[in-house]
């Protein structure tokens, strides 16, 4: 069981470039999440997907798009990267998204935008 | 939206018990309280969850008073490996309410 995997681990982009962060989980979870964590700060929710085929905005969705490709995979796209998007991005999954859910996190993608 | 407040940082020594308190004054009836631990360069991981009174597992205890406006995570006999950031979450209605805040940075000294 790999749990939650993320690719790539590191990425450097120039301002205006685009890229897609990939996330996959093998726990048969219904809900998946994307967070960003800026240095010395807590995690902020970007987007989440309560179940396959649905996505919804979190606290900081501007500048991002997501795709819930299937039950396993949830990708995050930056269409035109900006230096303010330099951060560590974490993907997570949980069984149902309810109040007692436990979220399982991936190892993160460290993104630098120059 | 159930906002949480925690101390920014705490220091302790190996072998001591550490108590981290989280304030959540506007917690809703259906909300649960969940604590996560995060080591540097890793994603957070679940520690413990509770609704009221006391919950204990192999890692920690969680104390929640009757009014549920606060909760205390208790780590017995900490070791150097417990140095991490600890987050208190209160699950609100809908994912928009899911926020980790800044957490409490615990530093354990030898």
Q: What is the pLDDT of residues A6-47, one digit of tens each?
A: 999 999 999 999 999 999 999 999 999 999 999 888 889 999
Q: What is the pLDDT of residues B21-80, one digit of tens each?
A: 999 888 888 888 999 999 988 999 999 999 999 999 999 999 999 999 999 999 999 999
Q: How far is B25 from chain A (nearest CA, A)?
A: 18
Q: What is the pLDDT of residues B4-16, one digit of tens each?
A: 899 999 999 999 9
Average pLDDT over residues B84-97: 75
Query: In this structure, are strands A31-37 and A87-94 parallel, antiparallel, or unpaired?
Result: antiparallel
B5 secondary structure, DSSP code: B
Interface contact B102-A42, CB threshold 8 A: yes
Beta carbons of B98 and B88 less than 8 angstroms apart: no
| Distance in angstroms (rounded) separating the CA atoms of residues A105 and A90 | 7
Please report residues of B whose CB lies closer than 8 A to that of A57: 96
| Distance in angstroms (rounded) separating the CA atoms of residues A53 and A68 | 6
Could you give the dihedral angle defined by the CA atoms of residues B86, A66, A112 and A105, in that order, rounded to the nearest 10 degrees? 30
Of B36, B42, B91, which is closest to A99 when you measure between CB atoms? B91
B-facing residues of A in 76-105 (CB < 8 A) are: 90, 92, 97-105
CA A30 to chain centre: 15
Q: Across chain A, how many H-helices and E-strands are there?
A: 0, 11
* Cα dihedral A55, A58, A62, A66 sign: negative
Interface contact B100-A42, CB threshold 8 A: yes
Interface contact B34-A102, CB threshold 8 A: yes
């Amino acid at each position: 069981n790999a749990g939650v995997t993320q690719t790539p681990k590191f990425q450097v982009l120039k301002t205006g470039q685009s890229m897609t962060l990939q996330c996959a989980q093998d726990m048969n979870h219904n809900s998946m999440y994307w967070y960003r964590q800026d240095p010395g700060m807590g995690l902020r929710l970007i987007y989440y997907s309560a179940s396959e085929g649905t996505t919804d905005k979190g606290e900081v969705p501007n500048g991002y798009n997501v795709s819930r490709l299937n039950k396993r995979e949830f990708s995050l796209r930056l269409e035109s990267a900006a230096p303010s998007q330099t951060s560590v991005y974490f993907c997570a999954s949980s069984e149902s998204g309810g109040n007692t859910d436990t979220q399982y996190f991936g190892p993160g993608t460290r993104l630098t935008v120059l | 939206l159930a906002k949480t407040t925690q101390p920014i940082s705490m220091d302790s020594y190996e072998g001591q018990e550490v108590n981290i308190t989280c304030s959540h004054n506007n917690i809703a009836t259906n909300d649960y309280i969940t604590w996560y631990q995060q080591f540097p360069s890793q994603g957070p991981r679940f520690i413990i969850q509770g609704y009221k009174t006391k919950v204990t597992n192999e890692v920690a205890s969680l104390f929640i008073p009757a009014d549920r406006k606060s909760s205390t995570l208790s780590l017995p006999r900490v070791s150097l490996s417990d140095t991490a950031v600890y987050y208190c979450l209160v699950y609100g209605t809908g994912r928009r309410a899911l926020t980790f805040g800044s957490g409490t940075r615990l530093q354990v000294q030898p």
